[in-house]
Amino acid sequence: DTGVSQDPRHKITKRGQNVTFRCDPISEHNRLYWYRQTLGQGPEFLTYFQNEAQLEKSRLLSDRFSAERPKGSFSTLEIQRTEQGDSAMYLCASSRLTGAQMGEKLFFGSGTQLSVL
Amino acid sequence: AQTVTQSQPEMSVQEAETVTLSCTYDTSESNYYLFWYKQPPSRQMILVIRQEAYKQQNATENRFSVNFQKAAKSFSLKISDSQLGDTAMYFCAFRQGGGGGADGLTFGKGTHLIIQP
């Protein structure tokens, strides 16, 4: 168990540029989540996958955001045409669960801190 | 939509003391889960304790215990014999059970706990 890995740790970009983040979950974890955390706030749910299927996407999520998990292993989160309001820490979490229950323990990565200038 | 409220932005106690962090939530659902997560300066969220709403018995994990008052929609965390390593942000989180939990965890704004030597 090497933990959830996120890359990069920090990303600075100019407004209007596209950025992509990567998350490597714990091996054999079938669920993968993306959250966003701004200063002074708790994390906010963005989207989640079960295996390679994206099962839910937050209604608050702009169309500029897209996530993939092509082979049910690692995931990428892309933000197109970044805005200053996108500046935040982007957290990835994974879990292993069978069935429909939602009370499983999530294992979080250390996040990617995005700064949009 | 569910909401989670943490009314204490910051708390400070001496090492070895007992401290209680407050959390209230609002939901009309009966099937749900409650969590306390810890976020140290390393930024990695770590599960502290978990409670299933259908269980009347309060969850306990070593020095950490909860006081779950379902009717009052209250879920406080008690840390006994506090240690310097307990210094962190603590987030209370809610997740609806079954298919309704697809929106992931709803977090409060957090309580910054400082353990003084």
What is the reported pLDDT for A100? 58
DSSP state of B85: G
What is the reported pLDDT for A56? 85
Q: Is the pLDDT of residue A96 over 90?
A: no
pLDDT in tens, B66-96: 999 999 999 999 999 999 999 999 999 999 8
The residue ranges of DSSP E strands in B1-117, in sequence order, are: 3-5, 10-14, 19-21, 24-26, 32-39, 46-52, 60-61, 64-69, 74-79, 88-96, 106-107, 111-116
Rounded CA-CA distance A70/A8 in Å is 19
Query: Within an 8 Å CB–CB cutoff, is residue A105 touching chain B?
Result: yes
Task: Map residue B53 onto helix, strand or coil.
Answer: coil
The verdict on whether omega for the bond into residue A25 sits within 30 degrees of 0, i.e. cis, is no
What is the reported pLDDT for B12? 97
Task: Map residue A101 onto helix, strand or coil.
Answer: coil
With an 8 Å Cβ cutoff, are A48 and B107 in contact?
no
Q: Is the pLDDT of residue A98 over 80?
A: no
What is the reported pLDDT for A61? 83
Query: Within an 8 Å CB–CB cutoff, is residue A110 touching chain B?
Result: yes
What is the reported pLDDT for A60? 76
What is the reported pLDDT for B45? 93
What is the reported pLDDT for A28? 86
Q: Is the pLDDT of residue A1 over 60?
A: no
Q: Which residues of A touch B109 (CB under 8 A)?
A: 40-42
**A54, A102, A104: best to mutate for the B interface, most B CBs within 10 A:** A102
Rounded CA-CA distance A73/A52 in Å is 8
Backbone angles phi, psi at A19, to 5 degrees: -135, 150
Token pair, residue A114, equals 């995005």
Q: Which residues of A touch B99 (CB under 8 A)?
A: 100
Backbone angles phi, psi at B98, to 5 degrees: 60, -150
**Mean pLDDT computed over every residue of chain B:** 93
Any idea which of A101-110, B6-15, B17-26 has the lowest mean pLDDT? A101-110
With an 8 Å Cβ cutoff, are B107 and A43 in contact?
yes
pLDDT in tens, B90-105: 999 999 887 666 668 9
Rounded CA-CA distance A8/A92 in Å is 12
DSSP state of A30: -
What is the reported pLDDT for A97? 76
Beta bridge partners of A68: A76
Q: Do A92 and A108 form a contact (C-beta atoms < 8 A)?
A: yes
Please compute the mean of the pLDDT values over residues A93-104 and round it to a whole number. 77
Q: Is the pLDDT of residue A102 over 80?
A: no
pLDDT in tens, A37-81: 999 899 999 999 989 888 888 887 889 999 999 988 999 999 999
* Half-sphere exposure for A74 (CA within 13 Å, toward CB): 10
The CB density around residue B46, as the number of other CB atoms within 10 Å, is 15
Please compute the mean of the pLDDT values over residues A75-90 and round it to a whole number. 97
Distance from CA of B76 to the nearest CA of A (A): 17
pLDDT in tens, A7-33: 999 999 999 999 999 999 999 899 999
Band of residue A99 on the pLDDT scale cut at 50, 70, 90: low
Rounded percentage of chain B residues whose pLDDT exceeds 70: 95
With an 8 Å Cβ cutoff, are B46 and A40 in contact?
no
Q: Which residues of B touch A108 (CB under 8 A)?
A: 37, 44-46
